[in-house]
Every structure is written in C-alpha cells, then in structure tokens.
Structure 1
C-alpha cells in the first residue's frame, strides 16, 4: 500500500498532537485527588465498555 506524501505528514502531525494531548491530560489527572482519580477511571472504563458493546439503537415504534 502506498501512502501519499501529504497523508504521511498529516499522520505525523496527528500523532504529535495526540502525544501532547496525552501529556496534558496526564498532568491534569495527577492533580486530582485520589477519590476523583478513581471516579475518572470508573467513567473511562464505562465509556470503553459502552464503546466495545454498543447498545442497539431503538427506532420509533
């Protein structure tokens, strides 16, 4: 598979942005109290669980 030059540069920029976002999010999480960190972890786990097992959308009956 061949990746156009523009796409490769775009991918690099996206990875760089995500890396910076991760560092910032980590710094903010470390400033939370232990209790708030656990709440964040629980919320993230629920979000991942929902993403892995999406509920079927219900239409109008």
Structure 2
C-alpha cells in the first residue's frame, strides 16, 4: 500500500478537525448500516482505516 503524502502536509489542528469529521461520518454510516440503509461494507472498512491513519499520524506528531 502506498503511503499517503497528503497527511504529511496537514497541520496538527487540521488533522484533529478532519479526524472529528471522519468519526462523526463513521457513526452515521454505522447507524445507517445497522438499519439496512447502507449496503456497502467496503466503504465502512475504508473509513475505519482512514481514521486509524489519521490517529497514527497525530500520535507521531505529538511525540
């Protein structure tokens, strides 16, 4: 998997804002998926991995 260089260009504040937005969107997708409104589990997996990448980058920069 290719490293995403766009995360390296973001500031810590931007990463935190982006992470909050992604978490809220993830909660909405999980809710929709639970009630059968969302049919694509691959989108959920991709979003979960994206959140993990953001958290990892944030932890690296805080050290």
Give the shorter-chain TM-score range.
Answer: 0.3 to 0.5
Whose Rg is larger? 1
By relative contact order (CA 8 Å, sep 6+), the higher-ranking structure is 2
Normalising by structure 1, report the TM-score: 0.45
- Bigger fraction of residues in helix: 2
Normalising by structure 2, report the TM-score: 0.44
